[in-house]
Structure 1
Amino acid sequence: MSLIGTTVLPFATTAYKEGKFVPITDADTRGKWAVFFFYPADFTFVCPTELEDLADAYPTLQKMGVEVYSVSTDTHFSHKAWHDTSPAIGKINYYMLGDQNHVISNNFQILREGQGLADRGTFVVDPDGVIQLIEVTSEGVGRNAQELLRKIKAAQYIAAHPGEVCPAKWEEGEETLAPSLDLVGKI
């Protein structure tokens, strides 16, 4: 069953952010757009390349009113150790959530059964806590922050413009569509 259109379920955890351990709950993620960026584990191979790519895009996301929460089933202590030892992870200024009890991974239905690791999944959540976008890739397929930015811009656009939709490869400033009977069979 798809989680699109559902509300983020309750959770409480500790995150590592900018040299501090901070408590985070689902309520803290409301009121602005949010990205929940799940990855299998700290100290791995594809994960740091994705997290660094997202760190590079983080200032742009912040300007768009988007907060980022990376999530793995590691602890916040592990996140700190990784942040302190990896040049790629050392660039991260967004929240790194610990999910050792698997509540968040289970809430987003991204936990690998019997393995205790999250799949590589991205969830874009609107300010009301409703999931608007989901992307899940296999273990070896890394994600692209620029494509995520494009999708968030499209989600923000349609949220602000009810009755319009963004066609394939839509970029900010391009034309959208207004679905109607007049368009049926004309595209």
Structure 2
Amino acid sequence: MGIVGSTIKPFQNTAFQQGKDFFDVTETDIAGKWAVFFFYPADFTFVCPTELEDLGEQYETLQGMGVEVFGVSTDTHFSHKAWHDTSDKIGKIPYAFLGDQNHKLTNSFGVLREESGLADRATFVVDPDGVIQLVEITSEGVGRNAKELVRKIKAAQYVRAHPGQVCPAKWEEGGETLAPSLDLVGKL
């Protein structure tokens, strides 16, 4: 069953975020907003801090686009805080980290590696209706690119705001879009 186009399931997870106390996040907190759920295998690892830092560098841009960001692993919110307090890269990240030690959120997105209890390296973009619009899953050793994620979210937001239009490959904001029709069949 495809996950793109499906609605996220109810959840409640405790978060850690720089400058805040621990707090709970549920699906109602993102209702009416765009959200990124950025799953990674574990705190205190190797590829994870590089891509989490990269995403942190795009956080202000994403916030300006109306997008909230959540880093998610099967660690606890306490582990997230400890990592934040001891890592230069993680210590400067402004977005929230969700603890998922019971694996419910990771399971509901279908990215739990049951044999290890860790999450896959996976990104989900959820629209304001709670519908998953984008999914990216990579192997353990392949980090993601936050600038490309921003580009994809801009495309998803454009398509949502402009029914009947689609964004071709390598589309950048302000670029030409397509209006699918019989007139285009065989001409692209």
For the residues of structure 2 that align with 1:21 and 1:4, how far apart are their CA atoms? 31
Corresponding residue for residue 52 of structure 2: 51
Report SS of the residue matched to 1:88: helix
- Residue 6 of structure 1 aligns with an amino acid whose one-letter code is S
Corresponding residue for residue 180 of structure 2: 179
- Residue 124 of structure 2 aligns with an amino acid whose one-letter code is F
For the residues of structure 2 that align with 1:139 and 1:106, how far apart are their CA atoms? 18
TM-score (norm 1): 0.99
Gaps of 5+ in 2: none
Corresponding residue for residue 86 of structure 1: 87
Count of aligned residue pairs for this structure pair: 187
Shift of 1:169: 0.3
Corresponding residue for residue 33 of structure 1: 34
Residues 107-126 of structure 1, C-alpha deviation per residue, up to 9 Å, x if partnerless? Answer: 00000122100000000000
Moved more, 83-92 or 23-32: 23-32
Shift of 1:135: 0.2
Residues 79-137 of structure 1, C-alpha deviation per residue, up to 9 Å, x if partnerless? Answer: 00000010000111111000000000000000012210000000000011000000000
Dislocated runs of 4+, deviation >2 Å: none
- Residue 116 of structure 2 aligns with an amino acid whose one-letter code is Q
Corresponding residue for residue 100 of structure 2: 99
For the residues of structure 1 that align with 2:23 and 2:181, how far apart are their CA atoms? 48
- Residue 35 of structure 1 aligns with an amino acid whose one-letter code is V
Matches within 5 A, 1:31-180: 31-180=32-181
- Residue 146 of structure 1 aligns with an amino acid whose one-letter code is K
TM-score (norm 2): 0.98
Alignment root-mean-square deviation, CA: 0.6
For the residues of structure 2 that align with 1:11 and 1:152, how far apart are their CA atoms? 23
Shift of 1:40: 0.2
Between the two proteins, what is the percent identity of the paired residues?
74
Corresponding residue for residue 10 of structure 2: 10
For the residues of structure 1 that align with 2:63 and 2:78, how far apart are their CA atoms? 25
- Residue 14 of structure 2 aligns with an amino acid whose one-letter code is T
For the residues of structure 2 that align with 1:65 and 1:86, how far apart are their CA atoms? 28
- Residue 59 of structure 2 aligns with an amino acid whose one-letter code is Y
